[in-house]
Amino acid sequence: MSPTRREVLRLAGLGAVAAAGVPGCSLIAGTPQPQLLTSAAPLPAPFARPLPVPEVARPVSSAGGVDFYELTEQVAQADVLPGLRTPIWGYGGTFPGPTIEARSGRRTVVKLINRLGEPTVLHLHGGHTPPESDGFPTDLVAPGASREYVFPLEQRAATLWYHDHRMDYTGPQVWRGLAGMFLVRDAEEEALPLPAGERDLPLLICDRSFGADGVMLYPGLGERPGVREAYMGGVLGDVILVNGAPWPELRVARARYRLRLCNASNARAYELATGGPMIRIGGDGGLLAAPLTVERIRLAPGERADVVVDFSAYKLGRRVELRNLAGEGAQGMVMRFAVDRDEADDSAVPRKLSEVEALDPGRAAVRRDFEFGSGSMHGGTGWLVNGRPFDPKRMEARPKLGDVEIWRLTSDVAHPVHLHLDHFQVLSVNGERPQGPPEWKDTVELREAQTVEIVTRFTDYRGRYVLHCHNLEHEDMAMMAAFEVV
Ligand code: C2O
Ligand code: CU
Ligand code: CU
């Protein structure tokens, strides 16, 4: 893409005619946007179900400084809509899968057992993982086979999640249920008086649509990868699930709660708000240096935010809705908290949370450009990085181990861009420094016609990894680039 075109687009905002006449480029006007898939089943009443909290996985063994887990992928029935059974593909037969609680620096091994009829790949999103365990999209685990994924977790405490990553089929396989939370804890964080125990809650948020019989609808193409043309831009469900339940309710005490918000949706971005202050304490890559009081939190697919909400600010009997300001109608609701009791609370949010080193862009050895856009591929339209569809054999970059690099990402329509291996910091958005102190991220949302510069350092592991759009339909339609740390 020529800079001229990007400038034109930016000047025109999202102008429909902005790119007209520029040869060789896709037009935003004709570029598909995420599309709502309407359920045939009646939408369930909101706030009728208690919030489920996924079970914490128990290690099969914990000898020699290694926590060893087994995770079996299997078909199961879930109870999502009243009176209907929903077939799912679940880790351990549940959706979401069990929460894995791990410790920084303590080796966690997950043996993935595939009892599904299709190949799968396990990826720990946000994990600092050696390449053979990172879930490269072609490292398939065949039906009936198993594979051990080794996570050394030489990384700070953070809210991570795990999900399927099979090339061309991540969208439908995650949609069917292959996702779960993975919390890394460490001593630094545990020394803080943050809400803990039952008041430290993972909230995995995703949207789904259902057929009249309760099945999850997905506009796939049968045996072929991809989705029906109308859904090229991404699939949006009309039912919002938190931990697998539609618009659930949680009874809370008048106390502080830590909510680990994870957007596990295929293509939906949320703008979460309670109508009152939320204290953001962390993001994709763990604790911020200091808490930030915010009224809303935008989360693109793949992103996480750690927030503390103090329900002692509300009277007994108050109901506090967590809303999605980016959604309309039922999709504007997420869940509800019912403040129903008094309880002692000795938690606090300290003014200083952690140390966050600012990566110095002046030390960057290399700058690279990655353009996220659409274009023709194999005769149809696809989502491309630098004009090319994903080829797992072609390395788009070969960063050197230990180097700091600046990657300049540009978009046509919105793309949540995710980098494997190392967390990064955002240097600029359309040329401007982001507000606030630096924080570690692994996914950054590019809005329409944006340029975002990130800085990262490639550490610890050599090998093949990927950079991709986390709109899972875009990802499956080739918006991914492989790179090799050398
Ligand atoms: Cu959450 Cu490469 O993925
Ligand atoms: Cu990832
Ligand atoms: Cu995208």
Cβ atoms within 10 Å of 45's Cβ, excluding its own: 10
pLDDT of residue 159: 98
CB under 5 Å of ion ligand 3: residues = 415, 469, 471, 474
What pLDDT digit, counting tens, does each position of 381-438 carry?
Answer: 789 999 999 999 999 999 999 999 999 999 999 999 999 999 999 999 999 999 889 9
pLDDT category at 4 given cuts 50, 70, 90 is very low
Q: Relative to the CA of 126, which ligand 1 atom is closest?
A: 1
Mean pLDDT, residues 264-274? 98
Q: Relative to the CA of 475, which ligand 1 atom is closest?
A: 2
Whole-number Å distance, alpha carbon 421 to ligand 2 midpoint, is 8
Q: How far is residue 70's CA from residue 147's CA, in Å, rounded to a whole number?
A: 10
Whole-number Å distance, alpha carbon 277 to ligand 3 midpoint, is 31
- In sequence order, what DSSP letters do the residues of 101-142 get, joined into one string? EEETTSEEEEEEEE-SSS-B-EEEET----GGGS--TT--B-
Q: What is the number of the ligand closest to the CA of 129?
A: 2
Q: Relative to the CA of 137, which ligand 1 atom is closest?
A: 2
Mean pLDDT, residues 247-270? 98
pLDDT of residue 246: 98
Nearest CA to ligand 1 atom 1: 125
Q: Relative to the CA of 161, which ligand 1 atom is closest?
A: 1
Q: What percent of the chain has pLDDT over 70?
A: 94
What pLDDT digit, counting tens, does each position of 142-183 carry?
Answer: 999 999 999 999 999 999 999 999 999 999 999 999 999 999
pLDDT of residue 377: 75
Mean pLDDT, residues 242-262? 98
pLDDT of residue 380: 74
Whole-number Å distance, alpha carbon 34 to ligand 3 midpoint, is 10
Q: What is the number of the ligand closest to the CA of 171?
A: 1
Whole-number Å distance, alpha carbon 475 to ligand 2 midpoint, is 12
Nearest CA to ligand 1 atom 3: 125
Whole-number Å distance, alpha carbon 318 to ligand 3 midpoint, is 39
**Nearest one of 389, 392, 424, 394 to 409, comparing CA atoms:** 424
CB within 8 A of 449, min separation 6: which ones?
A: 6, 9, 10, 13, 14, 18, 28, 411, 412
pLDDT category at 222 given cuts 50, 70, 90 is confident
Of the listed ranges 25-39, 103-117, 256-270, the one predicted with least confidence: 25-39
Q: What is the number of the ligand closest to the CA of 416?
A: 3
pLDDT of residue 11: 30
Both tokens of residue 472?
Answer: 């899972």
CB within 8 A of 463, min separation 6: which ones?
A: 130, 131, 132, 484, 485
Statement: residue 357 has pLDDT above 50: yes
Q: Relative to the CA of 135, which ligand 1 atom is closest?
A: 2
In terms of phi and psi (left: phi > 0; alpha: psi -120 to 50; beta: otherwise), the region of 198 is: alpha
Statement: residue 3 has pLDDT above 70: no
Q: How far is residue 443's CA from residue 269's CA, in Å, rounded to a whole number?
A: 12
**Nearest one of 32, 71, 130 to 464, comparing CA atoms:** 130
Q: Relative to the CA of 420, which ligand 1 atom is closest?
A: 2
Q: Relative to the CA of 466, which ligand 1 atom is closest?
A: 2
pLDDT of residue 28: 64
pLDDT category at 26 given cuts 50, 70, 90 is very low
Q: Between β-strands 158-164 and 304-310, what pairing exists: parallel, antiparallel or unpaired?
A: unpaired
Statement: residue 12 has pLDDT above 50: no
Whole-number Å distance, alpha carbon 188 to ligand 2 midpoint, is 24
pLDDT category at 29 given cuts 50, 70, 90 is low
Q: What is the number of the ligand closest to the CA of 179?
A: 1
Ligand 1 pocket residues where CB is under 6 Å: 123, 125, 163, 165, 302, 418, 420, 466, 468, 470
pLDDT category at 236 given cuts 50, 70, 90 is very high
Q: Is 99 exposed, middle or buried (0-12, 13-18, 19+ CB in 10 A)?
A: buried
Mean pLDDT, residues 361-365? 96
Of the listed ranges 116-120, 259-263, 380-384, the one predicted with least confidence: 380-384
Statement: residue 237 has pLDDT above 50: yes
Whole-number Å distance, alpha carbon 59 to ligand 2 midpoint, is 23
Whole-number Å distance, alpha carbon 372 to ligand 3 midpoint, is 7
Q: Between β-strands 404-411 and 146-151, what pairing exists: parallel, antiparallel or unpaired?
A: unpaired
What pLDDT digit, counting tens, does each position of 298-333 carry?
Answer: 999 999 999 999 999 999 999 999 999 999 999 999
Q: What is the number of the ligand closest to the CA of 302?
A: 1
Statement: residue 5 has pLDDT above 80: no
pLDDT, averaged across the chain: 93
Whole-number Å distance, alpha carbon 212 to ligand 2 midpoint, is 34
